[in-house]
Amino acid sequence: MAEIILTILCDNTAAMKEGIRAEHGFSALIERDNTRILFDTGQSDVFWHNAGVMGKDLAAIDSVVLSHGHYDHTGGLLSLARFNGGAMVIGHKDVFAPRYKKQVDGSLKYIGCPYTQTHLESRGLNFKFVSSRFEVAPGILYVSEVPVANDFEKGDPLLVVKDNNGKAVPDPFMDDAALYIRTPQGLVVILGCSHRGVINILKQILTLEGDVPIFTIIGGTHLSRVSVEQTEKTIEALREVNPRAIGVSHCTGLEAADEMKKVFGNRFFRATAGTVITINEEGGVAIQ
């Protein structure tokens, strides 16, 4: 197996490295052999700035994969188009669906992709819409349309779409996607926001892949606004998954991350902007 390098380019918090910026959002670069895939783009040009600081050339990426349509994952697409017109962007057809967050006063704030598909295409980006599973590169797979398989991952009640009558209803998040990489040691899973539930996503991946270990998990797990019960059950289910390394980002939330640290000890890390995760040929995981 060739070495895999995962570089966190955008996260809510930044590693203590000179010049790295943070913003609410997520973006990661996946490198293996000559394959370079960008997963999400954060909400602005921060991902591009951090890539430059870390010596990563995003003009050389093969494709971009979108985890879902929220602005904090798609907002960087215009910067991407400015610097890398012609890039291929892979995602579910619902990434451009209008979506909202309920405010305290009951109003709805738009939190979908800030640009239309037409506008981004006029700037040179090419979109490829895929559904439940797609092989982005050999052994690197996209998965969305995740079935709900447990009763504790209830979703975030503040995140909604409008039905045909304009009424706010829970966002179904059929576009919520993850990437996973096959390795001889098992699977490396990269999550965006996990709006369909991190355990539902892992279960779906195992359904598709068979009984293989999930040995590394990184990304957002959206435990920042859920009940204590959901957090506890999620962490218990993650403990059963028994990853060798788990690095959380973004919407995981500080409290849930602290709880995971207690459970996973030195297998746990914070995948902040500027963090580099190197997985070597023997399956060793180094965090820098």
Angle made by CA atoms 214, 141, 174, in degrees to the nearest 5: 95
Tell me which stretch binds Fe ion (CB under 5 A): 121-129, 178-186, 201-209, 243-251.
243-251
Contact between 143 and Fe ion per CB under 5 A:
no
**Residue 72 or 153 with smaller CB distance to Fe ion:** 72
Beta-strand relationship, 159-162 and 100-102: antiparallel
Q: Which is nearer to Fe ion, 125 or 251 (CB)?
A: 251
* The residue to which tokens 């706010």 are assigned: 168
CB 211, min distance to Fe ion, A: 30
Please report how close the Cβ of residue 175 comes to Fe ion at its closest, in angstroms. 10
DSSP string, 48-89: HHHHHHTT--GGG-SEEE-S-S-HHHHTTHHHHHHHSTT-EE
Q: Which is nearer to Fe ion, 4 or 143 (CB)?
A: 143
Applying CB under 5 A, which of residues 23, 72, 94, 171 lies at the interface with Fe ion? Answer: 72
CA distance 60 to 64: 11
**Which is closer to Fe ion, CB of 23 or CB of 259?**
23
Strand residues in 144-211 grouped as ranges (E): 159-162, 168-170, 178-183, 186-191
Stretch touching Fe ion by CB under 5 A, among 63-71, 205-213, 229-237, 239-247: 63-71
Question: Looking at beta carbons only, is 45 or 72 nearer to Fe ion?
Answer: 72
Measure the CA angle with vertex 151, ends 213 and 134; round to 5°: 45
Closest CB 73 distance from Fe ion, rounded Å: 6
Beta carbon nearer to Fe ion, 56 or 70: 70
Indicate whether 70 belongs to the interface with Fe ion (CB under 5 A): yes
Does 145 bind Fe ion (CB under 5 A)? Our answer is no
Phi/psi region, residue 219 (left: phi>0; alpha: psi -120 to 50; beta: rest), is left
What's the min distance (Å) between Cβ of 12 and Fe ion? 9
* Least separation in angstroms between CB 90 and Fe ion: 17
Residue of 29, 189, 193, 235 that binds Fe ion (CB under 5 A):
193
Amino acid at 226: V
The answer to whether 46 and 10 have CB atoms below 8 angstroms apart is yes
Q: How far apart are CA 16 and CA 261, in angstroms?
A: 19
β-pair partners for 100: 110, 160
User: Which residues bind to Fe ion, rule: CB under 5 A?
Assistant: 70, 72, 193, 251
